Amino acid sequence: MSTREAAVIGIAESEVGRLPGVTTLDLTAQVASAAVADAGLDLGDLDGLITTVPIVGGFPRHAVAVAEYLGIAEQMRHCQSVSLGGASALAGLVDAFRLVRTGACRAVMVLAADTPRSGQDRSASVSAFSAMRHAAWEQPFGMLNASAYALLAQAYLHRFGLDPDALAAIPVSMREHAVGNPRASYRDPLSTSDVTASRLVSSPLHLLECSPISDGAAALIIGRAGSGSAAGRNVGLLSGAQGYVYDHVAYAGDLSRTGCRLSSRRAMEEAAVGVDDVDVALLYDSYSITLALELEEIGICPPGQAPDFVASGGISLQGPMPTNTHGGLLSHAHCGYAAGIHHITEAVRQLTGEAANQVAGARIALLHAEGGILSANCTAVLAG
């Protein structure tokens, strides 16, 4: 089936950060209206809707509730809520392409919105993240997301005999990109000494190695290639794949591998591309260790060498693999369960020559997103 039978023809993003007085549904309406306008359509042209499930302001059948709120429920041929954590938006994008390619839908909106920064207090946030851990084998021992990722980081550093602060170069690189992106939440320059001087959240992870939670939203319209995009966008999907090894870290057994290796291999084989064919990478970076593991499991750098690869400029705008050119989750925004959708909008901007930190001649983008603790993994290859 031709990759050009469907395309991303519209995108929209809200502001990110602390957005007091704005609800998840407010952001939903804002980006939905803007995305269809960007595609040269209106809400009445949609017959498919895929949403992530927000931490704040969600509904049991969230996509149906959003369609109801937007006044488009009756015209929906497909309405789906994806609950794969940070992998939800990318998995939803892949599903949207399939719906349009097969003719099941004419135009599908993929929408992610959440307000965990201003929509709940700190205790509610802690409770929400605690509830994500296994009720029998993780919650009773006080494991939160940060401590679960710290477990992966401790194992990684020990396995390769690396310095406890070896991962500090990763948030510095993300900040370097954010400095040039006016949409990013955090744009002050950052040094490795700033990272290592920030307080330990869960050893060995420092505060600046953990992505700050934000409010925010984005939406994408997938329709027939060349079907009237007002902005002239026509970004295709070459492949999309998922991969799983465990759900809860307590059941992982072997901390040296995750489903990222599976999903990335499957996606690149399907797309018939290798790492050398990729012009820009958009990889989930909830914590410094997350990006390090992904860089190695995808094959962008050898095992144990991600810290040196990043420190030497490997993922910089001028490096061999420009990565998270918008600043990533670590400096642009981590919008709760909407996290990851801004990696997609950045990939589209790169492939259409509109990015703030444009990679010259970008034609192939590799995206990876993960939910849980590198539990649910989705990889996709987009082409401009």
In the chain, domain spans: 3-119+213-224
Check if the beta carbon of residue 221 is closer than 8 Å to that of residue 45.
no
Residue 112 pairs in a beta bridge with 218
Cα separation, 227 vs 168, in Å, equals: 45
Burial of 308 (0-12, 13-18, 19+ CB in 10 A): middle
Q: What is the DSSP letter of 235?
A: B
Sign of the Cα torsion 235, 382, 358, 328 reads positive
112: three-class secondary structure by DSSP: strand
Instruction: Kindly tell me if the per-residue pLDDT of 2 is higher than 60.
Output: no
Cα separation, 143 vs 55, in Å, equals: 19
Quick: pLDDT tens for 25-47: 999 999 999 999 999 999 999 99
Check if the beta carbon of residue 377 is closer than 8 Å to that of residue 259.
yes
Residue-level pLDDT at 228: 54
pTM for the model: 0.96
pLDDT band at 226 (very low <50, low <70, confident <90, very high): confident
Token pair for residue 68? 């109801």
Q: What is the DSSP letter of 110?
A: E
Check if the beta carbon of residue 243 is closer than 8 Å to that of residue 259.
yes
pLDDT band at 81 (very low <50, low <70, confident <90, very high): very high
Instruction: Kindly tell me if the per-residue pLDDT of 191 is higher than 80.
Output: yes
How far is CA 335 from its chain centroid? Answer: 10
Cα separation, 84 vs 105, in Å, equals: 23
List the single range of 126-135, 248-257, 261-270, 361-370 with lowest mean pLDDT. Answer: 126-135
Cα separation, 289 vs 150, in Å, equals: 8
Residue-level pLDDT at 1: 35
Residue 236 pairs in a beta bridge with 383
Q: Is the peptide bond before 204 cis (omega within 30 degrees of 0)?
A: yes
- Interval 273-301 mean pLDDT: 98
Check if the beta carbon of residue 116 is closer than 8 Å to that of residue 55.
yes
Cα separation, 378 vs 93, in Å, equals: 10
Q: Which residues contact 140 (CB under 8 A, 6 or more apart)?
A: none
Token pair for residue 291? 């990006």
Tokens 């992530």 map to which residue?
Answer: 52
Phi/psi for 56 (5° steps) reads -115, 130
Check if the beta carbon of residue 241 is closer than 8 Å to that of residue 378.
yes
Architecture of the domain spanning 3-119+213-224: 3-Layer(aba) Sandwich (3.40)
What are the CA-CA distances from residue 80 to residues 39, 52, 66, 158, 244 (Å)? Answer: 21, 9, 10, 42, 21
Residue-level pLDDT at 193: 98
Token pair for residue 312? 């030497």
Residue-level pLDDT at 229: 58
pLDDT band at 230 (very low <50, low <70, confident <90, very high): low
Question: Which residue from 108, 137, 181 is spatially nearest to 343, judged by alpha carbons?
Answer: 181
pLDDT band at 126 (very low <50, low <70, confident <90, very high): confident
Residue-level pLDDT at 131: 85
Burial of 273 (0-12, 13-18, 19+ CB in 10 A): middle
